């Protein structure tokens, strides 16, 4: 039986476009229909006219033979990337209705490029939900309503509507898992691509810090934020990452001056002799039995293909949580100071003077988690506490990065769980934000070190919920990670599994 369009990978859809089985407009219409019928609450904005105009332009390029391998393929953007054709809210009341006068570099690269030149030619279906200003691990911190909803509500996991999809890129992960889009962009500050990818059973990649430009990506923590792709397969993520990455030195001072790379080139490499480091800190008492069983089975599959498991240690793993939740809020308190009601975004209606306008605007515009992190950040940067907290955290951050380099002397890739458990129930941690923070323990170390990491679906745990395996590589080793994931997916079928409620 022929696969439905929404059950095909980007690679398969690309073939269908080039063999004229379907046009870019027909493909866009198919996914727009599904997106508008979304029951997960993933999409925050859809503009059918804008999407079909992009698809028509793609069909013209395909007819002229000028389109690349991603030309005409649909995707959704996390709502922290600014876009001209769609509103950009960062999931916050503070920016509800805001429209940017320019596209983010990642949007340009995946779309029509600068002045219509140099982009991959993908078609934007719309913008998808995220925790407000990318702050959260559950996608419950949303301040704007999804398409078809009257009030803000959390995104629901397609595998179980009573559970979270993960965060902050939960809308991206849920949309891909529910077959509303074949691909989406995400951002990862402390695990916000890898964790929702794991919870929703898809593949997600956080590249080396600086690989993808941050220009036009609404900042949360500037020394940590990184854009990356989310799709069903490692093969698809390799195509997306090749288009997304590249230097942007004129517009992003944190952009790496390294040439664009074809991440698909090494997808056929053998795993024979590959050394996979297994950090014992990732497999302690806090790891749920169901998650560990799925990871162990996945590691065995890699062993069968010729890889060798090597025990390693990352001794400062537990320190990653306090370090991250000092550094990230500190940077957030600075980055979010621009949202004051003066130039753009929400402004309070009732105030008496400039200071009360600032206070009322920020009190009304920001949600509870954002306020919590701004206040934490302001505190650790304040006089008398900077040395005791922020400076010490930066020193330990350097030590965490050094731990990884010592580990990579003994291995090529590091593997372990993405999160200690499968996705939890909506509202479970509502009264205890620290519980959400603790769930990031396995993703934070690589983020603090600026290393590339990814999540690969490797099975199912409690309640039939997906489990992801995390792969971490040394700097600029995304191609190696993608090949390990691809070789695993050639021997398994977890990446093709579909939630039972998804047609």
Task: Name the pLDDT band for 56 (thresholds 50, 70, 90).
Answer: very high
Q: How far is it, in rounded angstroms, from Cα 381 to Cα 71?
A: 46
Average per-residue pLDDT for the chain: 96
Q: What percent of the chain has pLDDT over 90?
A: 95
Q: What are the tens digits of pLDDT across the range 305-332?
A: 999 999 999 999 999 999 999 999 999 9
Query: Residue 280 falls within a domain, yes or no?
Result: no
* Backbone angles phi and psi of 141, in degrees to 5: -95, 70
Query: Residue 267 falls within a domain, yes or no?
Result: no
DSSP string, 351-420: -SSHHHHHHHHHHHHS-HHHHHHHHHHHHHTSTTTIIIIIIHHHHHHHHHHHHHHHHHTT-SEEEEESSS
CATH code (residue 25): 3.90.1300.10
Tell me what pLDDT residue 118 has.
77
Query: Residue 467 falls within a domain, yes or no?
Result: no
Q: Minimal CA–CA distance to 77: which of 186, 227, 211, 195?
A: 186
Q: What are the tens digits of pLDDT across the range 461-481?
A: 999 999 999 999 999 999 999
Tell me what pLDDT residue 67 has.
85
CA angle 64, 68, 71 (to 5 degrees): 85
**Domain boundaries, position 117:** 5-244
Query: Residue 268 falls within a domain, yes or no?
Result: no
Q: How far is it, in rounded angstroms, from Cα 293 to Cα 460?
A: 9
Tell me what pLDDT residue 356 has.
96
DSSP strands (E only) in 129-265? 183-188, 203-206, 226-231
Tell me what pLDDT residue 1 has.
61
Number of domains in the chain: 1
Look at residue 116 and tell me whether its pLDDT is greater than 90. Answer: no
Query: Residue 498 falls within a domain, yes or no?
Result: no
Q: What are the tens digits of pLDDT across the range 195-224?
A: 999 999 999 999 999 999 999 999 999 999
CA angle 194, 200, 205 (to 5 degrees): 25
What is the Cα 134 distance to its own chain's centre? 10
Query: Residue 392 falls within a domain, yes or no?
Result: no
Task: Name the pLDDT band for 2 (thresholds 50, 70, 90).
Answer: confident
Least reliable range by pLDDT among 110-124, 318-332, 407-421, 485-499: 110-124
Look at residue 170 and tell me whether its pLDDT is greater than 70. Answer: yes
Look at residue 23 and tell me whether its pLDDT is greater than 90. Answer: yes
CA angle 241, 134, 366 (to 5 degrees): 155
Tell me what pLDDT residue 324 has.
98
Mean pLDDT of 30-56: 97
Tell me what pLDDT residue 358 has.
96
Tell me what pLDDT residue 322 has.
97
The residues annotated with a catalytic role in the active site are 78, 168, 192
Query: Residue 24 falls within a domain, yes or no?
Result: yes
Least reliable range by pLDDT among 104-118, 130-144, 220-234: 104-118
Look at residue 434 and tell me whether its pLDDT is greater than 90. Answer: no
Query: Residue 72 falls within a domain, yes or no?
Result: yes
């Amino acid at each position: 039986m022929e696969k439905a369009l929404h059950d095909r990978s980007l690679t398969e859809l690309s073939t269908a476009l080039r063999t004229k089985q379907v046009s870019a407009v027909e493909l866009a219409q198919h996914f727009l229909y599904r997106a508008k019928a979304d029951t997960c609450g993933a999409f925050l904005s859809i503009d059918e006219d804008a999407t079909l105009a992009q698809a028509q332009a793609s069909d013209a390029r395909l007819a002229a033979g000028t389109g690349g391998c991603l030309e005409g393929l649909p995707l959704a953007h996390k709502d922290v990337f600014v876009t001209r054709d769609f509103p950009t809210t960062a999931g916050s009341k503070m920016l509800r209705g805001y429209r940017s006068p320019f596209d983010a570099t990642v949007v340009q690269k995946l779309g029509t490029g600068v002045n219509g030149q140099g982009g991959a030619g993908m078609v934007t279906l719309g913008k998808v939900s995220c925790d407000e200003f990318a702050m959260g691990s559950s996608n419950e911190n949303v301040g704007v309503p999804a398409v078809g909803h009257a009030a803000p509500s959390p995104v629901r996991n397609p595998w179980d509507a009573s559970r979270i999809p993960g965060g902050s890129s939960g809308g991206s992960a849920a949309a891909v898992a529910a077959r509303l889009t074949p691909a989406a962009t995400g951002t990862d500050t402390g695990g916000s691509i890898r964790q929702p990818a794991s919870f929703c059973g898809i593949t997600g990649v956080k590249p080396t810090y600086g690989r993808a430009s941050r220009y036009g990506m609404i900042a949360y923590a500037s020394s940590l934020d990184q854009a990356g792709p989310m799709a069903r397969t490692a093969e698809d993520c390799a195509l997306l990452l090749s288009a997304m990455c590249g230097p942007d030195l004129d517009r992003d001072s944190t952009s790496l001056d390294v040439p664009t790379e074809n991440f698909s080139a090494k997808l056929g490499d053998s795993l024979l002799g590959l050394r996979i480091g297994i950090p014992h800190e990732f497999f302690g008492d806090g790891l749920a039995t169901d998650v560990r069983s799925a990871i162990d089975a996945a590691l065995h599959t890699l062993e069968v293909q010729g890889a060798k498991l090597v025990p390693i240690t990352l001794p400062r793993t537990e320190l990653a949580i306090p370090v991250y939740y000092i550094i990230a809020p500190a940077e957030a308190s600075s980055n979010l100071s621009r949202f004051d009601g003066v130039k753009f975004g929400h402004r309070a209606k009732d105030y008496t003077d400039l200071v009360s306008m600032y206070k009322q605007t920020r009190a009304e515009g920001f949600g509870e988690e954002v306020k919590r992190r701004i206040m934490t950040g302001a505190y650790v940067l304040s006089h008398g506490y900077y040395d005791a907290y922020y400076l010490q955290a930066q020193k330990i951050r350097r030590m965490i990065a050094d731990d990884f380099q010592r580990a990579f002397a003994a291995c090529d890739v590091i593997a372990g769980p993405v999160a200690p458990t499968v996705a939890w129930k909506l509202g479970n941690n509502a009264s205890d934000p620290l519980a959400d923070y603790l769930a990031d323990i396995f993703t934070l170390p690589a983020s603090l070190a600026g290393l590339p990491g990814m999540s690969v679906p490797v099975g199912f745990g409690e309640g039939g919920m997906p489990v992801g395996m995390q792969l971490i590589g040394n700097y600029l080793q995304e191609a190696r990670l993608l090949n390990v994931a691809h070789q695993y997916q050639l021997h398994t079928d977890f990446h093709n599994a579909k939630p039972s409620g998804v047609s």
